[in-house]
Chains A and B, each alone.
Chain A
């Protein structure tokens, strides 16, 4: 179980790091994309909004999880 945790966390960190080395692909510049939005830096607003919403949901889920754990401990369920 412990080795699996180590392997998983290694894989995870590799994944996150590799996300920064974005591969080069043939860019067809005739297709309109939101590059201007990204240039202005405004896209980060969108990312921040979605990330905040998701963080809220996740925190809520973690709280429910710990509440259920507490009750399980009380009732002595495995």
Chain B
């Protein structure tokens, strides 16, 4: 299999996160109690997702520059990985909110922004499926992807800070830097981010490889048809 080492790193990191996620020391904070440990899962997922979507946008730009369909393959599969993490992030966040904020979906700008972001990327997938020709699909989807990410960042990060929000770091709440992120948390949090990013990349890589195999099979099939006709 292609380059096993980073996949092993991913597995080791995530096992570390799982074990230390439950057994490690965490700060004792009211309301949150033990659920602060969700930082390693919910928050890390969202950060990993942002990075995956950012990389997807970069590959979209590269496709528009080069015209090489391989870049668009990677861009689309990274976006799908990011979307998958986004949905997981919303579900885990909702679950967490239910027990700490008392409501699975309070009218919080970050949650609504996240939901809109997920819809935007779902529309990206829909857009891709509406084209038959590969190059046209790739071109239009790449442009959409760039705009999608450009809208996504303000929705999730900038808008919530400007208005009242329940989320830490937005709307007048103290950011991650102060008392709900100390060194104990950081020791598991940073490996968690890396672990989830690597897992998202792994999922995307598998799908890209399968896509390319299918494309090669199709090309071979068309070649055989042509040669059998001539």
Q: CA–CA, A56 to B23, complex, Å?
A: 21
Is B23's CB under 8 angstroms from A38's CB?
yes
CB < 8 Å A-B pair total: 88
Residues of B within 8 A of A27 (CB): 28
Is B12's CB under 8 angstroms from A43's CB?
no
Name the interface size band of chain B: 35 or more
Say if the beta carbon of A22 comes within 8 Å of chain B: yes
Is B191's CB under 8 angstroms from A15's CB?
yes
User: Given contacts A27-B28, A34-B33, are A51 and B19 in contact (CB under 8 A)?
Assistant: yes
Chain A 22-54 interface residues, beta-carbon cutoff 8 Å to B: 22-23, 25, 27-29, 31-34, 38, 43, 46-47, 50-51, 54
Say if the beta carbon of A75 comes within 8 Å of chain B: yes
Looking at the complex, which of B75-83, B123-131, B207-215 is the stretch in contact with chain A?
A: B207-215
Pick the residue among B13, B22, B24, B191 that contacts A46 (CB under 8 A): B22
| Number of interface residues, chain A, beta carbon within 8 A | 36
Could you tell me the dominant secondary structure of chain A's interface residues? Answer: helix
Chain B 1-51 interface residues, beta-carbon cutoff 8 Å to A: 1-2, 5, 7, 9, 11-16, 18-20, 22-25, 27-30, 33-34
Is A68's CB under 8 angstroms from B209's CB?
yes
Shortest beta-carbon distance, A26 to chain B, in Å? 8
Say if the beta carbon of B206 comes within 8 Å of chain A: yes
Q: Which residue of B lies closest to A58 (CB)?
A: B11
Q: CA–CA, A55 to B216, complex, Å?
A: 33
Is A16's CB under 8 angstroms from B16's CB?
yes
Is A15's CB under 8 angstroms from B16's CB?
yes
Say if the beta carbon of B183 comes within 8 Å of chain A: yes
Shortest beta-carbon distance, B129 to chain A, in Å? 23
User: Given contacts A33-B34, A34-B34, A77-B216, are A54 and B14 in contact (CB under 8 A)?
Assistant: yes
Q: Which 4 A-B pairs have the closest CB atoms?
A: A31-B28, A28-B28, A65-B1, A69-B1
Q: Which residues of B contact A (CB under 8 A)?
A: 1-2, 5, 7, 9, 11-16, 18-20, 22-25, 27-30, 33-34, 182-184, 187-188, 191, 202-203, 206, 209-210, 212-213, 216-217
